[in-house]
Amino acid sequence: MADKWSRCQRELRLISPARRGRLHVLVVGAGLAGASAAATLAEQGFRVTIMTLLDSPRRSHSVAAQGGINGAKNYCNDGDGIYRMFADTLRGGDFRAREASVYRLAEVSGQVIDMLVAQGVPFAREYGGALRNRSFGGVQVSRTFYARGQTGQQLLLGVHGSLLRQVHLGQVTLLTRREMLDLVVVDGRAVGVIARNLLHGALEKHGADAVVIATGGYSSVFLLSTNAIRSNASAIWRCHRRGAWFANPCFTQFHPTCIPQFNQAQSKLTLMSESLRNDARVWVPLQARDERAPDKIPEAERDYFLERAYPAYGNLVPRDVASRATRTVVQAGLGVGATGTAVYLDFAEARGRVGETVLRERYGNLFAMYQEITGEDPCQLPMQISPAPHFTMGGLWVDYHLRSNLRNLFVIGEANCADHGANRLGANSLLQTMVDGAFVLPRTLTHELAETGPTQIHPDDPQFIDCLRQCKQGIHQLLQSRGDLTPREIHLRLGQILRAEVGVSRSAAGLHSAREQIAELQQQFQERLLMSGDGQSLNEELERAGRVQDFLQLGDLMCKDALHREESCGAHFREEHQTPGGDPERNDQEFGHISAWAWDGTLHREKLDFELLAPTSRNYV
């Protein structure tokens, strides 16, 4: 296992530099995964087109990542290393990820940090100049590299710089404000996409020798999530409709430390980074509906419930564990705040220990964000936080080469299902985007192109024309709708159903009911959708309607997958499968696999075998 990636690389075929320029790769999505893939492939001599639905790659959702990126460098000399990082990640994902992929993630992590430093990312440093590390959930070492609370932004600036270099060299064509509408598949091979120019509505055909999907995660299926408002599932869903398998759709992560929802008009929720839990302590009053201000509640009348239940990891337990524990205290009536759904995240002890200046130095921009939204200064009063949809471990199925089941279709970053199993550990996602985009894909995609050669299908061929016609028809149908429900109203209702029944915990009864409610909502979408505007200009309502249509189908698949998985693992907690003490009960015998759903409803199971680390029950006590 430990040398699998080295062996694999030795066996992967190469293409000579002179021939690479004749091959064309289309990358859909320009976040960290897509941009790093496009820059690296172009650097190697391939012709690359990259598209994003935003006006600049720099606005991709990756920009919002706050806390950091992991690397097994062991700079703190605290016992870290590749094996430990691999073991933490596999265990953190509750043994529902492919062992070899997880090992590679840890193995390549050091190279990723080196590359980012070389690109000029201003990581936090010690006084003497060495890179500084902090801890994230589910680990007992410090391996997270960070740039204050703006790590994603700084990484994206570095990667964007190398992408622009290739744009200026003419090796990359950058298309902004384009939305991929469909994948063109001929004889089981991806040969291009149909995209819509969002500014004036024109549909475009883009052919390619290989297509890379890097369109991020689908937490916005819940409407209110920590993701960017334009994050969506449409690109991966439309690949799924064309035959790509969708894996583990029910593995969705709720982040425990988000600012609670205040009203129905909100369009997103705001994350307060997990890094805060390095210094802050999570607690609730021991007495239900305690009306006193938090600083008036004495120590003896507080329950530091994570420290109490999980002394070994304390406030830095993994997200699924913290979110479930929060739900338990809230259900017991101990929640705080106007809605009674929040718990406190308190810096008082840390303020006494390291002082306010140091705290502001570490978390300044997060404090400012919190104060702007709530009007309270977290250095003086504890933050109020509650779990919110944040990250999706599910996505299009890929093999060890990041290849979907369709030839020449690759999926990278949060859009795939590869590395995080049933629960992602903090700071491992930025890492995955870079490992996939800059290190793994360039090698495996080269191999695939060496095997398949260029496509013989061109954008003027009937297959493209037919696909374009179907897209036009779909848009036309949507624009005819003159009902009384806006796409947002339907999305809001879908989000409520999913948060209630496919949220932090799930039950068979709730999931069946959710499927019925979603079927009704789909009916309403058909009969009562209210559309405005036309297809020949900027029409955000049309964009939204298309995405909501996909979310409705995806929401149903999430329920179906959650129903099928009769066990509790990671973020997937089935109420029927718990110990008398309320801990999740995994069933390795029957569910030690990745569930990969085909569009026709067939379930493919990829069995998970473990060589290096035998599955054990997770124990953070």
Residues that bind ligand FAD (CB under 6 A): 28-34, 51-54, 57, 60-62, 64-69, 151-152, 178-180, 214-217, 226-227, 231-232, 234-235, 271, 390-391, 413-415, 427-430, 433
Nearest CA to 112 among 72, 140, 157, 80? 72
Q: Which is nearer to ligand FAD, 231 or 595 (CB)?
A: 231
Q: What angle, rounded to 10 degrees, do the helices at 508-528 and 487-501 form?
A: 170
Q: Which is nearer to ligand FAD, 23 or 269 (CB)?
A: 269
* Structure tokens belonging to residue 310: 């999980």
* Structure tokens belonging to residue 519: 């079927």
Q: Which is nearer to ligand FAD, 204 or 307 (CB)?
A: 204
Expressed in percent and rounded to 5, the helix, strand and coil fractions of the chain are 40, 20, 40
Query: Which value, to the nearest 10 degrees, does the dihedral of the CA atoms of residues 290, 293, 295, 296 take?
Result: -70
Read off φ and ψ for residue 282, nearest 5 degrees: -95, 130
In whole angstroms, the minimum distance from the beta carbon of 237 to ligand FAD comes to 9
In whole angstroms, the minimum distance from the beta carbon of 331 to ligand FAD comes to 26
In whole angstroms, the minimum distance from the beta carbon of 441 to ligand FAD comes to 12
Q: Which is nearer to ligand FAD, 74 or 428 (CB)?
A: 428
Nearest CA to 216 among 436, 46, 41? 436
Q: Which is nearer to ligand FAD, 430 or 494 (CB)?
A: 430
What 3-state DSSP class applies to 597? strand
Chain centroid to CA 567 = 23
Q: Which is nearer to ligand FAD, 535 or 615 (CB)?
A: 535
Q: Which is nearer to ligand FAD, 215 or 444 (CB)?
A: 215
> Measured between alpha carbons, how far is 416 from 402 in angstroms, rounded to an integer?
8
> Measured between alpha carbons, how far is 490 from 507 in angstroms, rounded to an integer?
24
> Which residue is catalytic, options 20, 230, 281, 319?
319
Asked if 40 contacts 167 with a C-beta cutoff of 8 angstroms, the reply is no
In whole angstroms, the minimum distance from the beta carbon of 572 to ligand FAD comes to 19
* Structure tokens belonging to residue 602: 């067939």
Closest residue to ligand FAD using C-beta atoms: 31
In whole angstroms, the minimum distance from the beta carbon of 366 to ligand FAD comes to 11
DSSP string, 438-453: IIIHHHHHHHHHHHH-
Q: Which is nearer to ligand FAD, 183 or 284 (CB)?
A: 183
Q: Which residues contact 292 (CB under 8 A, 6 or more apart)?
A: 285
The count of residues in the chain is 621
Nearest CA to 600 among 250, 244, 183, 252? 244
Q: Which is nearer to ligand FAD, 107 or 179 (CB)?
A: 179
> Measured between alpha carbons, how far is 312 from 83 in angstroms, rounded to an integer?
20
Asked if 595 contacts 97 with a C-beta cutoff of 8 angstroms, the reply is no
In whole angstroms, the minimum distance from the beta carbon of 330 to ligand FAD comes to 22
Asked if 514 contacts 503 with a C-beta cutoff of 8 angstroms, the reply is no
> Measured between alpha carbons, how far is 602 from 416 in angstroms, rounded to an integer?
19
Asked if 570 contacts 423 with a C-beta cutoff of 8 angstroms, the reply is yes
Read off φ and ψ for residue 347, nearest 5 degrees: -100, 5
In whole angstroms, the minimum distance from the beta carbon of 278 to ligand FAD comes to 13
In whole angstroms, the minimum distance from the beta carbon of 577 to ligand FAD comes to 28
Place of tokens 């398949």: 452
- Residue 165 a catalytic site member: no
In whole angstroms, the minimum distance from the beta carbon of 304 to ligand FAD comes to 24
Which residues form the catalytic set?
A: 319
